[in-house]
Amino acid sequence: MQYRPFGKLDFQVSALGFGAMRLPTQDGKIDEAEAAKMLHYAIDHGVNYVDTAIHYHGSNSERFLGRALKGGYRERIKLATKLFPPYVEGPQDFDRLLNEQIEKLQTDHVDFYLLHGINRRWWPKIRDLDVLDWAERAIADGRVGHLGFSFHDEYEVFEEIVDAYDKWAMCQIQYNFMNGDYQAGAKGLKYAASKGLAVVIMEPLLGGRLANAPQSVQGVWDAAPNKHAPAAWGLQWLWNQPEVSVVLSGMSTLQQVEENVASADASGAGTLTEEELTLVDRAREAYQRLGAIPCTGCGYCQPCPNGVDIPYNFKLYNDGLMYEGENPGYARWWYRFMAEAEGFEGDYHREKGQAAKCIQCQECEEKCPQSIPISEWMSIVHQVLGEGKPYGERPLR
């Protein structure tokens, strides 16, 4: 296993971290026997960072880890779990939730405690409940080793949170070779690292979608002199960047653990050649060509007078085509989520208005530098993502 600096802390973290969000299941419950094999294999082969959260697997991920880390495994790893702001109604909940989590994990402390899914809505809420003062007390009494946060919002919000507290030990961001400018992105990665924060990467393969390449993208990978699986290319691209501390993988099979451990063994910052980096660029371009709508996300079409987040709707539609083909379940889930959670002001996903709100006023179209027939596309986006119809004809105008 290769090890990397963990920010400003005196800790060398394994390149691969074990994420406990996508454990194998059987009859809707964690398959604990198989999951324990996976966890123990990872730790026995050098993984020393394990990540979970209060609500993973219906609040059972922490319970599973509490049982599976017995027999000396707990002492061999750093354990991270998370506080989920929607579960907090008042400052009294901070101690209650942490104590419950420690009990479920069958430990006396967690090494890293993250404020989870922080964004422009949840950050002010828990900040104003004095969560930082509370966390310092939890660190002082030994229940928490270090404080961090995981993040889902725009870069400007990320920078604000990083700068709000000079004792952050780490942050966790979504980042992969297709999401270099999404949410915190590469800019956030470099900014946090420059401030001495360890940067933990989540969604390195977009929830596994980058591990199963469509034919056109697989052709790019197959052209490489050095043959690797798509998942390995995605992980190596991350490990090539010195600002990345650890890459979390939410693995669901023992084979995935074995393959990712082997990939981590061969990793290192600055180890990819220019030719290999160009190959990843070509794979990204091949994915992008699968998208139907030539939206660059410039935002000139915004704001929509009816509240439609035009670039986000286009992104979901294109993501469905690029990663999921004829059955874009993931894109449809996020599209539904936009409508089901409306009214939650300031939440990164929840404030984005569905294409269904479009009234075909065409005010946006004269502003679009790509000359996209936005009003026509809005109807198609809703039919595919909102009504479950197949991808069909594209507007030609």
**247 and 359 housed in the same domain:** no
Question: Does some domain include residue 305?
Answer: no
Say if CB 168 and CB 148 are below 8 A apart: yes
**256 and 328 housed in the same domain:** no
The per-residue pLDDT for 90 is 93
**276 and 335 housed in the same domain:** no
The per-residue pLDDT for 39 is 98
The per-residue pLDDT for 349 is 46
Both structure tokens of 182? 């999404």
**259 and 330 housed in the same domain:** no
**276 and 314 housed in the same domain:** no
Question: Does some domain include residue 235?
Answer: yes
What is the distance between the alpha carbons of residues 235 and 179, in angstroms, rounded to a whole number? 13
Question: Does some domain include residue 62?
Answer: yes
**107 and 239 housed in the same domain:** yes
User: Which of 244, 265, 281 is the C-terminal boundary of a domain?
Assistant: 281
The per-residue pLDDT for 353 is 86
Boundaries of domain holding 359: 310-386
The per-residue pLDDT for 293 is 86
The per-residue pLDDT for 351 is 52
Question: Does some domain include residue 297?
Answer: no
**342 and 195 housed in the same domain:** no
Q: What is the mean pLDDT of each run of 10 residues along the chain (397 residues)?
A: 97 97 90 96 98 90 96 97 91 96 96 93 92 97 97 92 96 93 93 97 88 90 91 97 96 95 96 95 91 81 90 89 82 82 46 84 87 91 90 67
Q: SS in 3 state form for the chain?
A: CCEEECCCCCCEEECEEEECCCCCEECCEECHHHHHHHHHHHHHCCCCEEECCCCCCCCCHHHHHHHHCCCCCHHHCEEEEEECHHHCCCCHHHHHHHHHHHHHHCCCCEEEEEEEEECCCHHHHHHHCCHHHHHHHHHHCCCEEEEEEEECCCHHHHHHHHHCCCCCCEEEEECCCCCCCCCCHHHHHHHHHHCCCEEEEECCCCCCHHHCCCHHHHHHHHCCCCCCCHHHHHHHHHHCCCCCCEEEECCCCHHHHHHHHHHHHCCCCCCCCHHHHHHHHHHHHHHHHCCCCCCCCCCCCCCCCCCECHHHHHHHHHHHHHHHCCCCHHHHHHHHHHHHCCCCCCCCCCCCECHHHCCCCCCCHHHCCCCCCHHHHHHHHHHHHHCCCCCCCCCCC
Question: Does some domain include residue 251?
Answer: yes
The per-residue pLDDT for 344 is 42
Question: Does some domain include residue 397?
Answer: no
The per-residue pLDDT for 36 is 97
What residues have CB less than 8 Å from 337, skipping those under 6 apart? Answer: 349, 350
**153 and 245 housed in the same domain:** yes
User: Which of 266, 281, 296 is the C-terminal boundary of a domain?
Assistant: 281
The per-residue pLDDT for 139 is 98
Question: Does some domain include residue 392?
Answer: no
Question: Does some domain include residue 298?
Answer: no
Q: What is the CATH number of the domain that holds 170?
A: 3.20.20.100
**362 and 277 housed in the same domain:** no
How far is it between the farthest Cα atoms of the chain?
65
The per-residue pLDDT for 352 is 65
**221 and 277 housed in the same domain:** yes
The total number of structural domains that make up the chain: 2
**121 and 197 housed in the same domain:** yes
**189 and 54 housed in the same domain:** yes
User: Which of 239, 261, 281 is the C-terminal boundary of a domain?
Assistant: 281
